[in-house]
Amino acid sequence: MNNIRTKVSVTAILLAINCNFALAANKVAPTSVVTSTLSHKEILTQLLIADLAMQRDMPELALENYIRVAKSTHNTEVAQLATEVAIQTSNLSQAINAAEIWAQDAPKDLQAQLIATTLLVSTSPDKASKYLINAFDAKSVDIDQQLLVIMSKLSTTGQTNLANTVFKIAEQRKKDP
């Protein structure tokens, strides 16, 4: 929990600085990464609320705010924090939402791809397949070991779905080692 609190504080500070610099320089364009759903001020407020909530051992409130910011900004660090907090609070639906944002916006991030795969494979193997393909595309030398660890943590249904998904991908990529 302390590691997440440190990340939260650092992320909130960095985003606040970035928002303030962008506002001061009037360089925030309508086509920037930040969408119109939250203003820079609202993003900063949400991050500060989340930071304070984590410091006060209120992870549900922090998660709610991280999810809002992640959906609005598609910031991978915020999406990762939201995923971690959701997993720690056993909030599977929010963990899936945050992990998908993280994985979609960081397609070369092996951790993001594997976490999204793990969270989705038991209930939505077709969705999980997209992230597993991204994980294979990352060309990690130890992906087989990582998948074995994931496999050992899944339910029987999850294990079956993961194995079937791996076999389908292998069948599609016969020439890819």
Number of Cβ atoms within 10 Å of the Cβ of 110: 18
| CB of 104 closer than 8 Å to CB of 96 | no
Number of domains composing the chain: 2
pLDDT of residue 7: 57
Same-domain pairing of 95 and 118: no
Per-residue pLDDT tens digits of the chain, which is 177 residues long: 555 555 555 554 544 444 444 434 333 333 334 444 788 899 999 999 999 999 999 999 999 999 999 999 999 999 999 999 999 999 999 999 999 999 999 999 999 999 999 999 999 999 999 999 999 998 888 898 999 999 999 999 999 999 999 999 999 887 765
- Neighbour-count burial of 43, counting CB atoms closer than 10 A to its CB (0-12 exposed, 13-18 middle, 19+ buried): buried
Q: Give residue 38's pLDDT.
A: 82
The span from the CA of 147 to the CA of 123, in Å, is 17
The residue segments making up the domain with residue 111 are 107-177
Of the candidates 102, 130, 156, which is a domain's last residue?
102
**pLDDT at site 59:** 96
Q: Tokens 């080692």 sit at which residue? A: 177
**Residue 84, CB half-sphere, CA atoms under 13 Å: how many?**
17
State the pLDDT at residue 11: 53
pTM attached to this predicted model: 0.76
- pLDDT at residue 135, rounded to an integer: 95
Whether residue 123 is found in the same domain as residue 85 = no
Q: Between 59-73 and 92-105, two packed helices, what is the crossing angle to 10 degrees?
A: 30
Which of 102, 121, 154 is the endpoint of a domain?
102
Q: So what's the pLDDT on residue 119?
A: 96
Residues 93, 111 share a domain? no
Report the pLDDT value the prediction gives residue 26, as an integer from 0 to 100: 38
